[in-house]
Structure 1
């Protein structure tokens, strides 16, 4: 797939992640709706982070002529989602909560904020 297609696949999966993640932060924890939304959120987060690994960095320095600093959030996601899932399955609510908050703010808020920097697609959409 070309970069533009990957970018749109990423946008179509990460926007629902932002919406669902926000809902999950606001609703009561441990309820059936929380669990259902949580499963969808985790699957979408894993999928969208995998998609980003195929997108070469277009802004800033590159490692291995492909990965940029923003890819570190993809690796954060690929680590955090499974470990948060394992934590809740083991009954470790505190670890699950901490990991999911880190995931939301790291992978969605901070990484999402970087997508509005000059030279990136969303910057051009909103400010270009």
Structure 2
């Protein structure tokens, strides 16, 4: 694993990668912990800001060109911007279940699914994790990150068996 490819990348790619990593980590925390309190709202606002940086910065990255300077990942960026606006709008309207689904889907789609494609051969994150002095270290770190992200997303979406002492969730707790 080596960070050299990121150090030599354009500022747009560096900003994009840093914001995506921070959004991945913070989003996992926001999904994992209790919802609706002050810390959730602060974390959610910071996550939305990071995701805005991720989506907007992608429009300055043109390493894959399918339609002129654009690629399918730019469609994901447009959808992400729409989803973020929709998720904030839903939260402000107190439509909590729809807000949760929108934000969880954005986390999974924009960070986990789209982020996985950054690990394809020829991409910078592939070089970071799989080239360099010890590719096995990169494989181990990536496997841990993806497993942790998947577990956080699963847990955040309610993917756990209910315990006998769990109370039924009210709309305020959802």
User: Distance in 1 between the 2:111 and 2:27 partners?
Assistant: 9
Of 94, 98, 116, 2:119 maps to: 116
Ranges in structure 1 where 5+ consecutive residues have no aligned partner: none
Of 57, 69, 74, 1:71 maps to: 74
Structure 1 position 4, deviation (Å): 1.5
Structure 1 position 127, deviation (Å): 1.2
Structure 1 position 125, deviation (Å): 1.4
Ranges in structure 2 where 5+ consecutive residues have no aligned partner: 1-8, 132-174
TM-score normalised by L of structure 1:
0.91
Other-structure match for 2:97: 94
Structure 1 position 86, deviation (Å): 0.4
Other-structure match for 1:62: 66
User: Distance in 2 between the 1:45 and 1:33 partners?
Assistant: 18
Considering only aligned residues, what root-mean-square deviation do their CA atoms show, in Å? 1.2
Other-structure match for 1:44: 50
SS in 1 for 2:72: coil
Other-structure match for 1:30: 36
Other-structure match for 1:81: 84
Matched, 1:19 2:19: no
Of 103, 107, 132, 1:104 maps to: 107
Q: Which runs of 4+ in 1 moved over 6 A?
A: none
SS in 2 for 1:66: coil
**Larger displacement relative to structure 2 (68-77 or 15-24):** 68-77
**Relative contact order (C-alpha < 8 Å, sep 6+): which is higher?**
2
User: Distance in 1 between the 2:87 and 2:112 partners?
Assistant: 18
User: Distance in 1 between the 2:122 and 2:88 partners?
Assistant: 35
Aligned length: 123
